Homo-oligomer: A and B are copies of this chain.
């Protein structure tokens, strides 16, 4: 979660997603007051600007895959500095690696920000080019799904498209936020299944997550794309959210996942 002056941006959305994920995984939902206390403790020795990371586990269990009964969940709260990406990722856009790995489909886990991310680790190991910060993932049927650490949008025929995440993928709070902003601005938004071709032939493509806001996309693999008016307009609506992120010194710190 992106934290500014000790306050988490989109706190309500993060908490709602946490609750939904816990319920689907049958883990008691952590008390929000305790999380706020964690945040206060972690943020106050710093300048209050950073990344608040929270993991919830089902607690210590027995052998194999059985759950302890009653389930006494643990939480792991941690603090990290803001990621420092090159400013041009926002201003000029990013190139995407087109991942060969296809995500498996599991509706029971789809959308949840859980920690079983071996597929994403394998996908991220497909490329080493330091100038390519993100990859585009499709599912086993060839539908475009998301980035390795972000969600994705395309503009085609004047409409804003973003993949349905009912079979795989992570439902990013920034994906939902951008969707709302776009609808409020009068854009038609379609969240459906789309083949990769729709993205390759789109007028504009961009990536979102709660740490980066919006990154325009300049290429998917060898296919070049140009930044267009819809992406610029939506970025404009997020300027306050992204404020400061683009002003960090261009750094070489590793990239951050925070969809």
Chain A interfacial positions (CB closer than 8 Å to B): 25-26, 58, 62-67, 80, 83, 101, 103-106, 108-109, 114, 116-125, 140, 148-149, 168, 253-257
B26 near A125 (CB under 8 angstroms)?
yes
A256 near B63 (CB under 8 angstroms)?
yes
CA distance A178 to B245 in the complex (A): 58
Q: How far is the CB of A69 from chain B (nearest CB, A)?
A: 8
Residue of B nearest to A26 (CB): B125
B64 near A255 (CB under 8 angstroms)?
yes
- A257 CB contacts on chain B under 8 angstroms: 63-65
Chain copies in complex: 2
* Cβ-neighbour of A108 out of B64, B66, B108, B122 (below 8 A): B122
Residue of B nearest to A83 (CB): B63
A124 near B65 (CB under 8 angstroms)?
yes
B104 near A106 (CB under 8 angstroms)?
yes
Judged by DSSP, the binding face of A is loop
CA distance A60 to B123 in the complex (A): 18
- A254 CB contacts on chain B under 8 angstroms: 62-64, 66
In the A-B complex, the 4 residue pairs with the smallest Cβ-Cβ separation, listed nearest first, are A104-B106, A64-B257, A62-B254, A116-B116
- A122 CB contacts on chain B under 8 angstroms: 25-26, 108
CA distance A83 to B62 in the complex (A): 12
If A64-B149, A104-B109 are given as contacts, then 18 extra A-B residue pairs at C-beta distance below 8 Å, sorted by A number, are A25-B118, A62-B254, A63-B253, A63-B257, A64-B148, A64-B255, A65-B117, A65-B120, A66-B124, A67-B121, A104-B104, A104-B105, A104-B168, A106-B119, A109-B118, A109-B119, A116-B116, A116-B118
Given contacts A104-B104, A108-B101, contact A67 B125 (CB under 8 A): yes
